[in-house]
Amino acid sequence: MLTLIQSATKYIQNSEDENPTFEGYLRKHHVFVKNTINNNSSLTFEDAWNEYCKACRKCKVTLVKGKAKVAWKELIAGKIKNTTGTITTGLKRSFDTMNIRSNLNSFVPTAHEAEDFIFKDYNVSKALKDFSAASLAIFQSDNGAKLNFTADLPRWLALHSVIRLSKHLDATMTESFDSSRLEALRLHIRSNEFSKPARLSSALKIEVMDYLAEFEDNKNSKELKRKLQALALKNDGAVARVLETLVSLLSKMTNKSGPVGEKTVESLLDAVCGSIFKITDDHDPHKFDNVLFAGPHPLQRRRPDYVVEVGSIDPIINLVGEVKPFPSSSSGLSLGTYRLGVFSVALIEKHRLKSILAFQAKGLEVTFYLCLYKQGIYFMSEVERITLPSTYSDFCSFGVFLDTLYNISVLYEGHCVQQQQQQQQQQQTNLFDYATLKEMYHLSSSKSANTLSSAGMLASSSLSSRQQ
């Protein structure tokens, strides 16, 4: 009896096309394929594709899928006899698996043309390249069978030339990186690339802390608001923005304690972002309900939860934010961190930014990263953390974050700006298809893409577009 590989080989050898397609084979030999699967119910779409690939290699022709999914659905899926009548669900899983493997095998991380980044005799560029190559090899061999996205987060960032520098190094990175060197590098970047953390004057902090102490005693929020507003009017720049942030937050406080929902967190972030990042009238901090990149693009139909847009005509985006409720799954939080990384890479390149600020909120805890490109590497460096208040009692203790808010605002104003064209690298980073990544790890959908319009969106790969 003729086998699938023999049938495919015969089709390729007799084809008049220079590069015969898998779609063409299915359309011409669908009866044979159906009969073969009916005789072997465990045979899947992926198996048929693998046999066709073997035939192509044997005949030394290029692998071309064509519209294989369409042909399979039209001529084979739903017409295969078995105990349930169809194997459509199995076919869908097989097709998805095939596309994951295909996208993984075809993905080539960008080798940025730059001198190696060496920090105190430690070749960071080489460590990143080794880690990236090893990571891709793991993904291509395992094909997502037993993968954990939280553990794999550093690998996916590395495949996009991103190194996340945080106080706690991801365990996975110790395979290729010297943890003590990276911690020293994080501190070096924080103090040298971004300058030493900015701090408010002692006199101002004492005055604000006195106001908060008085409020804790008298509970008069209107009086506190008047004092903070008057103090804000006496100052300007980042100092005034910090004080305005306190005023905005005060209006969001309640006496209700207990778990804080996602909508409350978003309301608090509105108060912070609307003041601390409102550098000029051209700066527009807001929740984002648009698309960053029209298709075809690996990030098509994806958007961050928060942005700051600058300018009214052809605005740039120099801040992105992701919000998750508490508690959230570790994979969901890791996916948010990954999104910040790839959004930052794409926006730095699109808008020729010197740096971009990114924040991730996990309930009331907010972590801020400043991302910059340096000698072929995108450093996603943690700069500050704050815990937002939700009650009047919490607000009385929020004074400990005055310097943090001030430093964040100063960093954003000074570093998240456009560069001259000649100062920015020309090479764009290859981004792995986001929909494929989520399919690979079976990550659940989130709210952030459900409201997006699909107008103008095109598929960026052979994988079917899926809303986040």
pTM of the shown model = 0.75
Contact in structure between 21 and 65 (CB atoms under 8 Å):
yes
Whether 409 contacts 283, CB under 8 Å: no
- Segment 320-323 long-range contacts (CB within 8 Å, at least 24 positions apart): 320/344, 320/347, 320/356, 320/357, 320/358, 320/359, 321/269, 321/273, 321/358, 321/359, 321/360, 321/361, 322/358, 322/359, 322/360, 322/361, 323/262, 323/265, 323/266, 323/269, 323/360, 323/361
Residues 133-180: pLDDT tens digits?
999 998 888 544 457 899 999 999 999 999 999 888 888 888 889 889
Residue 71 dihedral angles phi and psi, to the nearest 5°:
-60, -40
Region 47-53 average pLDDT: 84
* Residue 190, CA distances (Å) to 184, 313, 331, 383 in order: 10, 33, 28, 7
Boundaries of every domain in the chain: 4-76, 96-194, 202-441
For residue 306, give the H/E element and its range: strand 306-310
Q: How far is CA 462 from CA 88, 100, 149, 287, 449, in A?
A: 19, 10, 23, 31, 20
CA angle 112, 303, 454 (to 5 degrees): 115
Residue 385 pLDDT greater than 80, yes or no: yes
Name the one residue in this structure whose structure tokens are 């048929």.
Answer: 48
pLDDT of residue 399: 95
Which tens digit of pLDDT belongs to each residue from 251-274?
999 998 888 888 899 999 999 999
Closest CA to 127 of 184, 174, 180, 176: 176
Count the neighbouring beta carbons within 10 Å of the beta carbon of residue 227: 19
Residue with tokens 């698996």: 97
- Alpha carbon 229 to chain centroid, angstroms: 37
CA distance 300 to 216: 49
The predicted model gives 348-367 an average pLDDT of: 95
> Can you give the pLDDT at residue 246?
97
- The lowest-confidence range among 67-76, 184-193, 307-316, 450-459 is 450-459
Using 50, 70 and 90 to split pLDDT, how confident is the model at 66?
confident
Residue 314 CB neighbour total at 10 angstroms: 6
- Beta carbons of 12 and 55 less than 8 angstroms apart: yes
CA distances from 336 to 146, 389, 468 (A): 21, 22, 12
Counting every residue, how long is the chain? 468
Strand order from edge to edge, sheet including 306-310: 162-165, 377-387, 365-374, 355-362, 316-324, 306-310, 283-287
Distances from the Cα of 149 to the Cαs of 38, 96, 288, 438, 462, in angstroms? Answer: 37, 18, 25, 10, 23
Distance, first Cα to last Cα, the chain: 45
The confidence band for 113, taking pLDDT boundaries of 50, 70 and 90, is confident
d(CA 147, CA 136) in angstroms, rounded, equals 13
Could you say which DSSP state residue 391 is in? B
Q: Does the pLDDT value for residue 423 go beyond 60?
A: no
Q: What share of the chain is helix, strand, coil (3-state, %, to 5)?
A: 50, 15, 35
Q: What percentage of residues in the chain have a pLDDT greater than 90?
A: 51
If you average pLDDT over residues 78-104, what whole number do you get? 56
CA distance 249 to 175: 43
Q: How far apart are CA 384 and CA 166, in angstroms?
A: 10
